[in-house]
A = this chain, B = another copy of it.
Amino acid sequence: MTASAQPTQPRRSDATRAAILRAARERFAADGYERATIRAIATDAQIDPSMVMRYYGSKEGLFAAAAEFDLRLPDLAAVPPAHLGEVLIRHFLARWEGDETLVALLRAASTNPGAAERMRGIFVDQLAAAVARFGTDPATTARRAGLVASQILGLAFTRYIVRLPPMVDTPAEELVPWIAPTLQRYLTGLPEN
């Protein structure tokens, strides 16, 4: 299904397709799914709206293509167990500041069922798989991954979507010592009574 299956020879319209995708990510990230119109995206990409339909079938199809995302989580089995939280939060912050796809996905997930589904896939499959790799009790893996997701997504939501002043003004480096222990406990700790 994805483009990397076979080395299909490059099409002449690849530049257009890429421009559409780039504009789509920007608009979806800035405006959310419903406010981002195909016409606006096409204008940004300097092509006709009908091109978007031809190459991506529908608005849903365009979003699906634009929201393709890999967390690129490091192999947690290779990380010193005591540093898991810090490695994770650093990785996520870097991933988030460098790629607007996640913001687009986050914004859209609030109102678009497909986007929410995608988000679930990413944070259940990819994250839970990574958490499982360093050998916690399998019975608790899903919950630990969910808790980590809740803090990570909450950070992103307050920092990039709602833009709470204290979360926006604090540099990423200063957030690490606060968030890292939280993730560390979610991953390796026990609940407190």
A179 nearest CB across to chain B (Å): 8
- The answer to whether A158 touches B153, judged by C-beta atoms less than 8 angstroms apart, is yes
Q: Which of A16-24, A40-48, A50-58, A142-150 contacts B (4 or more CB under 8 A)?
A: A142-150
Stretch from A4-12, A60-68, A162-170 at the B interface: A162-170
CB distance from A49 to the nearest CB of B (A): 19
A110 to B124, CA, bound (A): 22
Q: Is A92 an interface residue (CB 8 A)?
A: no
Q: Quick one: which of B142, B157, B161 contacts A166, CB cutoff 8 A?
A: B142
Q: Which of chain B's residues have a CB closer than 8 A to the CB of A193? A: 177
Interface of A is mostly: helix
CB neighbours of A149 from chain B (8 A): 154, 158, 164, 167
Contacts of A107 in B (CB 8 A): 110-111
A152 within 8 A of B: yes
In the complex, the answer to whether B192 meets A120 with C-beta atoms within 8 Å is no
Determine if A124 and B178 form an interchain contact, defined as CB atoms under 8 angstroms apart.
no
Q: Are A151 and B32 within 8 A (Cβ)?
A: no
- Nearest neighbor of A141 in chain B, beta-carbon distance: B166
> A158: nearest residue on chain B (CB-CB)?
B150
Q: 18 other contacts beyond A107-B110, A153-B154, with CB at 8 A cut-off?
A: A34-B35, A109-B110, A110-B111, A110-B161, A111-B111, A123-B158, A123-B162, A146-B158, A146-B164, A147-B178, A150-B151, A150-B159, A151-B182, A153-B157, A154-B158, A157-B157, A181-B185, A181-B192
